Structure 1
Amino acid sequence: MKQLTKLAVATTVALWSAAGSADAQVTELRIGYQPSPIQDASIAMFEAWGAKNNVKIVKVPNSYGVYVEKMTASLTSNSDQYDVIWHNDDWGQTWAHLLEPTDDVAANKFADKWSMAPVVFANAQGQNTVVPMGQTFSVFFYRSDLVKPEDVPKTLEQLVTTSKKLQADGKVKFGYVGGMSMNNSWFSWFWSMWGNNCDVLLPPYERDNAKLAANGWKSGMTEPCMQKTVEYWWDAINTHKIVPRGMPAYDRNEANAVFMAGDAAFTVADSLWWGTFNDPAKSKIAGKVAATRFPLGPDRARPFAWDDIWGWAIPKSIAPERKKAAKAMLEAMMLDKEGQKKLFKLTGAPPPNTEFWAEIAAEDAFMKLLKESVLDSPDKVRGAYYFPQWPAVHKAFNDTVTKAVTGKREDIAKVLAEGAPLVSKAAQ
């Protein structure tokens, strides 16, 4: 830890010194972000750094629903509206050419290598364009007051039977609830699909763009596993009635609200909601929540997890002295041990500096679970694709499965077949 402290001092001094007298004029840094527990906790570290360095941190919140469009417009117009922005692997390649390289932020060497792979955030020159905020992935949350650890569903079939029993016993209104709408596919569609050896594009779990291109950007929409996934959710909604009927339109916030109200026994949500789910001021089930691995479909035997980061990026268009100040702030954040431990305590998201993981896991059972089931697991998939057209592919996918699950069951295969070329076309 002494070495980390020395590095923090040395790199911050170096970054500020390199900026010269111009940095003395940087009196504020504007942060473009989407309010959420992990971003709020990360920005708190920015504010602590700003207080020490006489830099005012100006927070500019943006709605999640319009965030990508709004930031893309700002970046492509060479605006200097923001000095640091929330950056996500979903749009890593969309923005890479518009962002300042961050290879000179030395503390990035402590970031998770899986999440910082060049395929995700590198620009055309192979330069990194992100500093991590924290690991983001989902886990299977369950009501520990209703289900014992040994009885938690390990398969999708068991999720149905357990849910129906809890409903029949009057314990909950619904067995499962999770986001399903566009930009919320992870919380129902993706985890159940990946847990059955299925994926948006073929081959499953492949994220090498050259290999995907060589395969003709072929979609997985007509694979048997995809039809099984859609039929599973159709049955969950219409036959078994273990989920809310309107769930195909739910976003993460609506699903989380149902779970925190005590109306559902199970959900999938980002681990960073651990703190909120267990906050008595916000959740009726505080202290009654546990988490485990995902239930698997019939076509997969090994566990799986997905693992990505949320991060921060610096627009290429801002003035040089502002870039240097922003990098100094991000460097300090990466080395702020107490701030990162607080981030985990408040959110349940593993912090960006991997040097702190073992110490936190030794003190906290939830972090120990995350290390064993996700962070250290060899069975992982990246939660998105990494080419500029991914948002369009995601929309084509979600439009197709939504149409299929809200129509007639006998039409599911037909709808998926009609959507398959649209997904492939969007990728090209």
Structure 2
Amino acid sequence: MKRKLGGLPLAGSLLLGLAALGATPAQAEGTLKICYMSQPVIDANVAMMEKWANANGVEFEKNPMSYTVYLPKMSQMLSNGGTDCDIFWHNDDWGQLWKQWVEPTSDVAGMDKIRKGPMRAFPNDEGQPTAVPLAHTVGTFFYRTDLVDEKDVPKNWAEIVAVGHKLQEEGKTKWGYVGGMTHQNTWFSIWWSLWTNGCDIFNPKFERDNAVLDKSGWVPTLTEDCHRETIEFWWDNLHKDKISPEAMVSYGRNEANAIFMAGESAFTFADSTFWGEFNNPEKSKIAGKVGMALWPMGPRLNNNVAWDTIWAWGIPKALDPKQKELAKKALGAMLLDHEGQIAQWKGTGGPPPNTDLWPELASQDPVFAKLKEVVFDVKDQVLSAYYFPNWPAVQKAYADISTEALSGKREDIPAVLERGMKTLHDAAVQQIAK
């Protein structure tokens, strides 16, 4: 889910960027071109805009791309002033990387209906929002309801180990827990547990104001007890308690999700947007047997935490005024399409961005009510990334450090984390200093 921009080919001719996208420089009147990653939640959201376009005589051209090529292609287009996409899939991870090339969106109809917290990833230098939410993507602890009663779902780290062991010994599951650990997937193992242990990546903990972090010197927490304990917890899960496969250090989100959907793990952690895939009987052996719960807590924190981020849409600033207006109309129609947003939730598990719908959904749909309880209603919300230009470099550096620590000897973990202090600090400040 998380992306790296460093080293991408931002320079180059606009012609090459357009050719890569399979588009042409000309934009026909009454035409909207939308560029996005094809994924069930995003596809459902695109369908709402396509419905509006068809009803209003607007030609609607879809340009789906694979995730692996999306970021470099879109970065090249935007940085070169390209206008081959009128609307493009936007994400909190690169909100600050693209802010100078993206149109402000405060005047889009329905923006008064959204949750404001996640929009902190998308302001431009003037403090204006530069995105329109399409769905909330929140970190969710999933469990197998056919294996674990709701009252027995682990409330803390120790219970994850105990329940996982019990299910393994009874032959009910191969693994207690599986989750992504590689670069761009650390959220699904280390980071959610880091936050439940009252810890974070930099000091001050849970601070996301770049001015404060810059003044504080971007000091990592790697050598603090709360961080070391988190890495040791996962080392034990992999090597001593063996509730997770040792190969998990090489798993991304897709590998972990596949194991969970194959019925080989009792617990996983993933974006809520994967609820639909987990319960798709054509893809998942555990369809209809998946529940959601509060994050199991670490030993240093007594209150629950959660995160709430969004997938979104953006509009290139380089578009002419008529195209911007057309794009904003389509996005406003999506935000105000109650029927379509409810269908998006029911069909894919993508929580709707229009919060006016939440009370209705919670009263009628026990699944949404549970998600609201375990994520949206949690008082302490963590922003799940740091929003500054060199965040992708920090992600990569952290993944390298944690992989080394988890792949070696347990007694070597403190030394690995100590060496990682400079690496992680340098990754944070090198681009800022340019």
Alignment partner, residue 13 of structure 2: none
Long gaps (5+) in structure 1: 1-23
Alignment partner, residue 41 of structure 1: 44
Alignment partner, residue 406 of structure 1: 407
> Is 1:50 aligned to 2:50, yes or no?
no
Alignment partner, residue 275 of structure 2: 274
Rounded Cα–Cα distance in structure 2 between residues aligned with 1:26 and 1:294:
49
Cα displacement (A) at 1:343? 0.8
Query: Secondary structure at 1:106's aligned position in 2?
Result: coil
Cα displacement (A) at 1:167? 0.8
Query: Secondary structure at 1:59's aligned position in 2?
Result: strand
Query: Secondary structure at 1:33's aligned position in 2?
Result: strand
Rounded Cα–Cα distance in structure 2 between residues aligned with 1:175 and 1:73:
43
1:396 and 1:423 in contact (8 A); partners too: yes
Rounded Cα–Cα distance in structure 2 between residues aligned with 1:303 and 1:177:
21
> What does residue range 224-263 of structure 1 map to in structure 2 within 5 Å?
224-263=225-264
| CA offsets 1:204-241 (integer angstroms, 9 cap, x no match) | 11111121112111111111111111111111111111
Letter in 2 for 1:288: K
2:109 and 2:336 in contact (8 A); partners too: no
> What does residue range 335-350 of structure 1 map to in structure 2 within 5 Å?
335-350=336-351
> Is 1:110 aligned to 2:113, yes or no?
yes
Cα displacement (A) at 1:141? 0.6
> Is 1:63 aligned to 2:66, yes or no?
yes
Cα displacement (A) at 1:419? 1.4
Rounded Cα–Cα distance in structure 1 between residues aligned with 2:265 and 2:88:
35
1:112 and 1:354 in contact (8 A); partners too: yes
Rounded Cα–Cα distance in structure 2 between residues aligned with 1:79 and 1:407:
47
Alignment partner, residue 131 of structure 1: 132
Alignment partner, residue 101 of structure 1: 104
Higher mean C-alpha displacement, 122-131 vs 69-78: 69-78
Alignment partner, residue 34 of structure 2: 31
> Is 1:288 aligned to 2:310, yes or no?
no
Rounded Cα–Cα distance in structure 2 between residues aligned with 1:31 and 1:99:
15
Letter in 2 for 1:243: S
Higher mean C-alpha displacement, 67-76 vs 128-137: 67-76
Query: Secondary structure at 1:134's aligned position in 2?
Result: strand
1:252 and 1:269 in contact (8 A); partners too: yes
Alignment partner, residue 80 of structure 1: 83
Cα displacement (A) at 1:379? 1.2
Alignment partner, residue 196 of structure 1: 197
Alignment partner, residue 386 of structure 1: 387
Equivalent pairs counted in the alignment come to 403
Rounded Cα–Cα distance in structure 1 between residues aligned with 2:118 and 2:359:
18
Letter in 1 for 2:377: D
Query: Secondary structure at 2:98's aligned position in 1?
Result: helix
Cα displacement (A) at 1:116? 2.1
Cα displacement (A) at 1:25? 4.7
Letter in 1 for 2:296: P
Cα displacement (A) at 1:418? 1.2
Rounded Cα–Cα distance in structure 1 between residues aligned with 2:292 and 2:221:
29
Letter in 1 for 2:46: I
Rounded Cα–Cα distance in structure 1 between residues aligned with 2:324 and 2:296:
44
Query: Secondary structure at 1:135's aligned position in 2?
Result: strand
CA RMSD of aligned residues (A): 1.4
2:109 and 2:335 in contact (8 A); partners too: no
Taking every aligned residue pair, what percent have the same amino acid on both sides?
50
1:271 and 1:347 in contact (8 A); partners too: no
> What does residue range 256-335 of structure 1 map to in structure 2 within 5 Å?
256-335=257-336
1:26 and 1:325 in contact (8 A); partners too: no
Cα displacement (A) at 1:69? 2.7
Rounded Cα–Cα distance in structure 2 between residues aligned with 1:98 and 1:389:
17
Rounded Cα–Cα distance in structure 2 between residues aligned with 1:57 and 1:229:
48
> What does residue range 160-239 of structure 1 map to in structure 2 within 5 Å?
160-239=161-240
Long gaps (5+) in structure 2: 1-26, 430-434
Rounded Cα–Cα distance in structure 2 between residues aligned with 1:295 and 1:70:
39
Rounded Cα–Cα distance in structure 2 between residues aligned with 1:353 and 1:158:
36
Cα displacement (A) at 1:355? 0.7
Letter in 1 for 2:115: D
2:86 and 2:315 in contact (8 A); partners too: yes
Rounded Cα–Cα distance in structure 2 between residues aligned with 1:70 and 1:409:
41
Rounded Cα–Cα distance in structure 1 between residues aligned with 2:249 and 2:29:
47
| CA offsets 1:28-72 (integer angstroms, 9 cap, x no match) | 322221122211111111111111122232222222234323321
Higher helix share: 1
TM-score normalised over the length of structure 1: 0.91
2:109 and 2:329 in contact (8 A); partners too: no
| CA offsets 1:5-33 (integer angstroms, 9 cap, x no match) | xxxxxxxxxxxxxxxxxxx9534322221
1:156 and 1:296 in contact (8 A); partners too: yes
| CA offsets 1:173-209 (integer angstroms, 9 cap, x no match) | 1111111111111111111111111111112111111
Rounded Cα–Cα distance in structure 1 between residues aligned with 2:370 and 2:213:
33
Alignment partner, residue 375 of structure 2: 374
Could you say if the C-alpha distance between residues 151 and 330 of structure 1 is closer, same or farther in structure 2, counting changes exceeding 3 Å?
A: same
Cα displacement (A) at 1:357? 0.7
Letter in 2 for 1:40: D
Cα displacement (A) at 1:294? 0.7
TM-score normalised over the length of structure 2: 0.90
Rounded Cα–Cα distance in structure 2 between residues aligned with 1:182 and 1:346:
29
Letter in 2 for 1:130: A
Rounded Cα–Cα distance in structure 2 between residues aligned with 1:336 and 1:83:
20
